[in-house]
Amino acid sequence: LAVFTRVEAVDDRVKAYVTMTKERALEQARSVDRQIKNGDKISPLAGIPVAIKDNMCIDGVRTTACSKILANFVPPYSATVVKRLDGAGATMLGKTNCDEFAMGSSTENSAFFVTRNPWDTERVPGGSSGGSAAVIAAGEAICSLGSDTGGSIRLPASFCGVVGLKPTYGAVSRYGLIAFASSLDQIGPFTRDVTDCAAMLNVICGHDPLDSTSASYNMPDYTGFLKNDVRGLKVGVPREYMAEGINPGVREVIEEALARLETLGAHVEYTTLPHTEYALSTYYLIAPAEASSNLARYDGVRYGYRAENADDVIDMFMKTRSEGFGSEVKRRIMLGTYALSAGYYDAYYLKALRVRTLIKQDFDRAFEKYDLLVSPVCPTTAFRIGEKTDDPLEMYLSDVCTISINLAGIPGMSIPCGFAQGMPVGLQLMGRHFDEGTLLRAAYTFE
Ligand code: GLN
């Protein structure tokens, strides 16, 4: 497997992998070899080297969510996506670095180390699935998986110049994904091109009885949408996503992409998603609220890290959680617990749920008129390592174009569409629920 030679050559500088699963990969590669020698039918991803974000479980392989609290956790089962990749013949290279419990936009919140952007190692790869994007950009894997709660696939895809897709909520099973915010989390692929993205969707999408929010729907063959034709496609550009704060270089690249869609026969016009200004506040109430509940299970009793020298059981809980969680995770637990507490629940959490519905309705209305919405993924390109670590609000602003998509549950995709100040710029495509096909169709014209 030549890809291991590549990992050995570059991962010292990129630092994308947390754990390698070389033995597993070699065993899988040997079994594909046997299939070929026996003349058996070859599986769709036979021998394709894949990597997954370290918040998805693999039976017998350390799975940490890049937190000290799970640093030695070895799950006794595999996530559904892992079983599907195995079934499709993929070879599993290893687990990639991410922000702790997927909370962050730069991969600087990992408890282990910072992953670097392969285009400029002084810059962040984006987050939270930064490792999964970096391995594709650096040639350390052919395909990878990330998870996206509020942009964590699309932002790193944009910063690293690769293709990343967050499927419709419910399209991919979350069984075996370490939960951050369960009503927003969704697993999706990173690839070099749109064709590989469609091939990955064919493997990972589809109903799973082990996830109660997994949808039963008529899953198409996603490769069927790879036709070079956007004639007649109605494309809306939400004005709010091209507003003041956008970097002029990024704006220019996005405008060129819009002009290109028009030249190819799509109808492009500006539109509005009026509740966009509330998206960040809504997300940063709902996501921490769900996180504070999901993270209650890390108490030092059931699994994971346990602090030593505790006086009694309450002291043990407190020491375990203070020592095991990093500062961003603690911040979210505090925000979420506050928003859910008696007396504040109605004013914050319930209000946020109502605004979430308004945001979803903005999209419903837009999709009555348009087949596709298009915007930048982020108002800027990849920022410098350390630039935003002292200011959480500044960091949260990187998510301004991506989080509404999770709140609405619709599919969103980032495709490379040019460079600004020498760094890649991602174009975001947003579609109707379960209409990943239209995203692929439009994305394919940029190949
Ligand atoms: N940056 C966002 C956050 O920190 C999104 C994270 C994600 O999508 N997992 O919550």
> How far, CA to CA in Å, does 328 sit from each of 17, 295, 388?
21, 13, 13
Q: Which fold has domain 2-225?
A: Amidase signature (AS) enzymes (3.90.1300)
The overall average pLDDT reported for the chain is 97
- What are the pLDDT digits (tens) for 209-221? 999 999 999 999 9
SS3 132: helix
- In short, whether 98's Cβ falls inside 6 Å of ligand 1 is no
Between 245 and 181, whose confidence is greater?
A: 181
Percentages helix, strand, coil for the chain (3-state, rounded to 5) are 45, 15, 40
Percent of the chain with pLDDT over 90: 96
pLDDT at 41 over 90: no
pTM over 0.95: yes
The confidence band for 42, taking pLDDT boundaries of 50, 70 and 90, is: confident
Q: Which of 4-8, 15-19, 242-246, 430-434 has the lowest mean pLDDT?
A: 242-246
Mean pLDDT within 25-53: 93
Counting ligand 1 atoms within 8 A of each CB, the residue from 54, 107, 109, 152 with the most, and so the one to mutate, is 152
- In short, whether 294's Cβ falls inside 6 Å of ligand 1 is no
- In short, whether 156's Cβ falls inside 6 Å of ligand 1 is no
- In short, whether 168's Cβ falls inside 6 Å of ligand 1 is no
User: What token pair was written down for 230?
Assistant: 């956007």
Question: Is residue 408 within 8 Å of residue 430, measured between CB atoms?
Answer: no
Mean pLDDT within 16-23: 97
Give residue limits of the domains in the chain.
Answer: 2-225
User: What is the layout of strands, in order, in the sheet containing 143-147?
Assistant: 17-20, 91-96, 49-53, 143-147, 187-191, 163-166, 412-420, 423-430, 372-376, 234-238, 267-271
Quick one: which of 377, 374, 386 has its CA closest to 266?
Answer: 374
pLDDT reported for residue 43: 87
pLDDT reported for residue 49: 97
The confidence band for 339, taking pLDDT boundaries of 50, 70 and 90, is: very high
- How far away, in angstroms, is 143 Cα from ligand 1 center? 21
Amino acid in the structure at residue 379 = P
- In short, whether 325's Cβ falls inside 6 Å of ligand 1 is no
Counting ligand 1 atoms within 8 A of each CB, the residue from 55, 403, 428 with the most, and so the one to mutate, is 403
pLDDT reported for residue 1: 73
pLDDT at 303 over 90: no
pLDDT at 131 over 90: yes
- In short, whether 290's Cβ falls inside 6 Å of ligand 1 is no
- What are the pLDDT digits (tens) for 219-258? 999 999 999 899 999 999 999 999 878 999 999 999 999 9
Distance CA 399, CA 395 (A): 8
Mean pLDDT within 89-118: 98
Instruction: Given the cut 0.95, state whether the ipTM is greater than it.
Output: yes
Distance CA 220, CA 141 (A): 26
> How far, CA to CA in Å, does 26 sit from each of 20, 132, 198, 412?
12, 20, 25, 34
- How far away, in angstroms, is 222 Cα from ligand 1 center? 27
Q: What angle do CA 68, 326, 289 make, to 5 degrees?
A: 110
State the alpha helices, DSSP H only, in 341-400.
Answer: 351-369, 392-396
Pairing of the two strands 372-376 and 234-238: parallel
Which residues form the catalytic set?
Answer: 53, 128, 152
Question: Is residue 180 within 8 Å of residue 129, measured between CB atoms?
Answer: no
Mean pLDDT within 256-279: 98
Percent of the chain with pLDDT over 70: 100
User: What token pair was written down for 265?
Assistant: 């026969």
- Residue 297 burial class via C-beta count within 10 angstroms: exposed 0-12, middle 13-18, buried 19 and up: exposed
Q: Which atom of ligand 1 is nearest to the CA of 287?
A: 10
